[in-house]
């Protein structure tokens, strides 16, 4: 059968940057390979994809679906109603758009959309970012045709014959850091010759990382320069904590948009271990201290980090130990140049730079 030149793709999911940015990387790569195709995103009303996807130039529709709260909550009483309504709406969206294939990237919206696509006989593909698969993807995998994973040994979650080890797709600017250091230092107002520590707690922020910086802030300001993404939830409080204190080498940001420049400027990175962060950092190939969040399903951030630590490709600092131990870990790491170089090399050896193209290849095989 002759392959078409244009296609109709539906991409569902979101909720966090770890789901949204891989989805956008897939969409951008697909449009480069197959210009003229149509892509429709389906997200959850009120979640960040409803803003980020239109900013990237794609159309998105929202479903009222929400997740179950782990604790007893009255919000859980409305869960079945929202789910059933979302399933009905997903059915109509699929009927109106008539996609050639539906891609699920995780997040609340992916469940109803892939469920209805599979019932209608439309090919579905799952992109699982984490080293520990969530319940929804495990259920959907039974009828999905392909499952693109970011970690090896995922057969314990998915049918082995459906798995393709592609890695996580990342933004293209992350792949092109060479020669950007001087521009990066200028962009953030950083000094040449002073070690740069990049602190990343995600777009919303991470309380432990912020508290760890504040605990050691005098020493950090004296010995290094810190580019610190504290997150939107904590920005005002962190700004107030620094106000008038004369911390000239602490560069606070609510959110860093030019992540390629932030990575280019960094000598070491301190980060949570969300799936996208781990995949990006493997391409950046800088020494990394992972502080996994303990407040995620199945402790999957620790599992993400350990997949690299066991290859001597990163340092693990437990969340419970981070406040009060951050400076010592930085001093130890940055005081050993050979160790930094080796960590960067080991990390880069685990990178999958062609993930988006490989996933698009799998999509094409499904619809072609």
Q: Count other Cβ atoms within 10 Å, centred on residue 78.
A: 13
Q: Which residue has the tokens 């970690």?
A: 151
Check whether 6 is labelled as a binding-site residue: no
How many other β-carbons are positioned within 10 Å of the β-carbon of residue 321? 14
Is 111 annotated for ligand binding? no
The response to whether 277 counts as a known ligand-binding position is yes
The answer to whether the CB of 289 falls within 8 A of the CB of 333 is yes
Binding residue per annotation — 55? Answer: no
- What is the SS3 assignment for 364? helix
The answer to whether 275 is a known ligand-binding residue is yes
Query: Distances in Å between the alpha carbon of 215 and those of 59, 219, 289, 318?
Result: 44, 9, 17, 16
Was 358 annotated as part of a binding site? no
- Distance (Å, rounded) from C-alpha 367 to C-alpha 26? 15
Question: Is residue 171 annotated as involved in ligand binding?
Answer: yes
User: Residue 168, SS3?
Assistant: coil
Q: Is 354 left (phi over 0), alpha (psi -120 to 50) or beta?
A: alpha
The answer to whether 157 and 328 have CB atoms below 8 angstroms apart is: no
Sheet holding 250-253, edge to edge: 250-253, 225-229, 196-200, 268-271, 288-290, 315-316
20 labelled ligand-binding:
no
Rounded-to-integer distance, Cα 140 and Cα 127, Å: 11
Q: Judge whether 88 is annotated as a binding position.
A: no
Q: What gap in Å lies between CA 301 and CA 202, rounded to an integer?
A: 13
Q: Does the annotation place 106 within a ligand binding site?
A: no
Judge whether 264 is annotated as a binding position.
no
Is 16 marked within a binding site? Answer: yes
Annotated binding site for UDP-N-acetyl-alpha-D-glucosamine: 16-18, 130, 171, 203, 256, 275-280, 301
Annotated binding site: 16-18, 130, 171, 203, 256, 275-280, 301
């Amino acid at each position: 059968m002759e392959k078409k030149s244009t296609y109709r793709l539906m991409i569902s999911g979101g909720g966090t940057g770890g789901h949204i940015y891989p989805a956008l990387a897939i969409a951008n790569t697909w449009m480069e390979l197959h210009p003229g195709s149509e892509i429709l995103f389906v997200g959850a009303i009120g979640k960040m994809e409803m803003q980020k996807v239109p900013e990237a130039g794609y159309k998105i529709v929202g479903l009222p679906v929400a997740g179950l709260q782990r604790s007893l909550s009255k919000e859980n009483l409305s869960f079945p109603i929202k789910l059933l309504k979302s399933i009905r709406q997903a059915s109509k969206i699929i009927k109106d758009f008539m996609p050639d294939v539906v891609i699920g990237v995780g997040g609340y919206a992916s469940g109803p959309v892939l469920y209805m696509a599979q019932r209608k006989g439309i090919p579905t593909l799952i992109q699982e970012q984490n080293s520990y698969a969530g319940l929804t993807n495990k259920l959907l995998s039974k009828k999905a045709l392909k499952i693109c994973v970011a970690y090896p040994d995922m057969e314990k979650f998915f049918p082995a014959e459906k798995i393709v080890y592609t890695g996580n797709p990342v933004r293209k600017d992350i792949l092109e850091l060479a020669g950007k250091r001087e521009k990066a230092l200028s962009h953030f107002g950083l000094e040449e010759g002073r070690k740069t520590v990049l602190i990343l707690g995600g777009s919303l922020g991470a309380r432990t990382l912020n508290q760890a910086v504040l605990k050691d802030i005098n020493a950090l300001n004296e010995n290094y320069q810190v580019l610190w993404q504290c997150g939107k939830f904590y920005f005002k409080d962190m700004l107030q904590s620094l106000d008038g204190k004369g911390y000239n080498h602490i560069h606070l940001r609510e959110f860093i948009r030019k992540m390629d420049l932030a990575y280019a400027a960094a000598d070491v990175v301190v980060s949570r271990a969300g799936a996208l962060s781990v995949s990006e950092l493997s391409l950046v190939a800088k020494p990394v201290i992972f502080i996994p969040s303990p407040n995620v399903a199945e402790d999957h951030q620790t599992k993400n980090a350990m997949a690299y630590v066991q290859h001597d490709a990163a340092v693990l600092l437990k969340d419970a130990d981070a406040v009060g131990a951050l400076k010592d870990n930085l001093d130890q790491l940055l005081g050993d140049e050979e160790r930094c170089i080796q960590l960067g090399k080991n990390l880069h050896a685990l990178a999958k730079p062609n993930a988006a193209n490989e996933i698009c290849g799998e999509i094409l095989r499904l619809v072609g």
